[in-house]
Amino acid sequence: MSKHTPGPWHVQDDHGKRWIETSGNDDTIAEIHRRASKGGVYSCKEASANAQLIAAAPELLADLEEAAKTLRRYEILHWAKETNESDAKAKVNGDLAARFERTIDKARGKP
């Protein structure tokens, strides 16, 4: 079971105050954000930016996963050509895919 609040998430705006709401039963993100805002932890601008980023997180993660898979396919295709130029391209694709995969693992809570 995931420790994260299920989506989809939406940014709610009430007279300039933004927070996250989810259509799931767990409103943890919304509650945390409301408490932080009331405690003066975030500026309105920072809270708004955080709300937008959190709301986009599921799509960002899905797009990053697709990009990593695509880069791995290109890496394999370039290695198969066995030329100096294609080997260099394969390495660039592989290195970038590895960076994306580390970020994906971090987002999923893996060490």
**From first to last of its 111 residues, what are the pLDDT tens digits of the chain?**
344 555 666 666 666 655 556 555 444 555 655 655 565 555 566 666 777 788 888 899 999 999 999 999 999 999 999 999 999 999 999 999 999 999 999 999 897
Looking at residue 32, what is its pLDDT? 56
Cα dihedral value 22, 26, 28, 31, nearest 10: 70
pLDDT for position 4: 53
Spans of all domains in the chain: 9-107
The closest of 56, 55, 52, 57 to 42, measured between CA atoms, is 52
pLDDT of residue 96: 98
Is 111 exposed, middle or buried, given 0-12, 13-18 or 19+ CB atoms closer than 10 A? exposed
Residue 56: which residues within 8 A CB-CB, separation 6 or more?
Answer: none
